[in-house]
Amino acid sequence: MRPKLTSVEEAIGLCSSGDAIALGGATMRRKPMGLVRALAGADVGDLELWTWIGSADVDLLIGAGKVRAVNSAYVGFGAFGLAQTSRRAFADGSVDFRDWSESSLAEALRAGSAGLPVALTKALLGTSLAAGLATEVDLPFTEERLMAVPAARPDVALIHAQSADELGNIRRRRPNRTDDIDHLIATSARRLIVSVEEIVPRAEVLDDRDATIIPGTYVDAVVHLPGGAHPTGCDGYYDPDLAHLAAYAEASRSAAGIADYIATYVDGVDPARYRELTAGEVTA
């Protein structure tokens, strides 16, 4: 395999206007925020987002005017409430929100990972979520009824992980397996960009092969980006920055507030400058 290490600018160059972009992580954990900020500042738009449980990643890209549609089960900040920039855009129709259940979205990504055209699920039977999203189907060999949903096959996936070697073998520390489908997001996408806290020697990967959750064969670019999940947390490295998230949630309550946030933390702000602006907020 070839070395996969690259800069954040070169990695985001793999994204194009009109792409379907999948975002890893869940709410307050391991959101690829460094990559998202770079994408928000790039000359791309008209994006369709796929994320299992959205947060500041989705909201920031909507605030930056980059998004045409969102596929997710939720977009918000947990205890800080719903993401208000996203909520305004969904309400006025400027961004199309496709409201999935968590399990049906996971199955759509699993089908995309397997190269299947559809996924089958019981999750949407008898629910209003099925309208425009799923079709009830008859199955061979059984009289059971299930719902078919289209497979998710994003053009590019962005995820954040703990470490990788230069060949792109992605490793995890202390995974929370109850709310993590990054492996499905990664393998469903046509291209994969991963930011990581650390670059580790190849020998370390070979010594502990079980820590590799995504082999380098799936990975197109690795960006060494310490603190790259901030203001969300990264398991085993730092907790979510609740003060920053609260400030972001407050900023997202108005168009002027989110514009000010983007001017401060996104426009012309590279990762080094972002770390300066948030000094003391990320603790490794």
Domains in the chain: ranges and CATH: 8-101+154-277 (3.40.1080.10), 102-150 (no CATH)
How far is residue 116's CA from residue 70's CA, in Å, rounded to a whole number? 22
How far is residue 284's CA from residue 279's CA, in Å, rounded to a whole number? 12
What is residue 131's predicted lDDT score, i.e. its pLDDT? 85
Q: Which amino acid is at 110?
A: R
What is residue 283's predicted lDDT score, i.e. its pLDDT? 47
Which helix H or strand E contains 98, and what residues bound it? strand 96-99
* Full DSSP string of 102-164: HHHHHHHHHHHHHT-SEEEESTTTTSGGGTTT-EEEE-TTS--EEEEEEPP--SEEEEEEEEE
Distances (CA, A) of 65 to 40, 81, 238: 8, 22, 30
* Closest residue by Cα to residue 27 from 249, 266, 258: 249
What is residue 74's predicted lDDT score, i.e. its pLDDT? 94
What is residue 113's predicted lDDT score, i.e. its pLDDT? 95
How far is residue 168's CA from residue 199's CA, in Å, rounded to a whole number? 9
What is residue 130's predicted lDDT score, i.e. its pLDDT? 84
What is residue 177's predicted lDDT score, i.e. its pLDDT? 57
What is residue 222's predicted lDDT score, i.e. its pLDDT? 97
Q: How many CA atoms lie within 13 A of 13 on its CB side?
A: 9
Give the 3-state secondary structure of residue 214. strand
Full pLDDT tens readout for the chain, 284 residues: 788 999 999 999 999 999 999 999 998 999 999 999 999 999 999 999 999 999 999 999 999 999 999 999 999 998 899 999 999 999 999 999 999 999 999 999 999 999 999 999 988 888 888 888 899 888 888 888 898 999 999 999 999 999 999 999 998 765 555 567 899 999 999 999 999 999 999 888 888 888 888 999 999 999 999 999 999 999 889 999 999 999 999 999 999 999 999 999 999 999 999 999 998 655 44
Pairing between β-strand 96-99 and β-strand 67-72 as defined by DSSP bridges:
parallel
Instruction: Summarize pLDDT for 110-161 with one digit per residue, the tens.
Output: 999 999 999 999 888 888 888 888 998 888 888 888 989 999 999 999 999 9
Q: In the chain, what's the furthest Cα-to-Cα distance?
A: 61
- Here the tokens at position 179 are 């709310």
Q: What is the pTM of this model?
A: 0.93
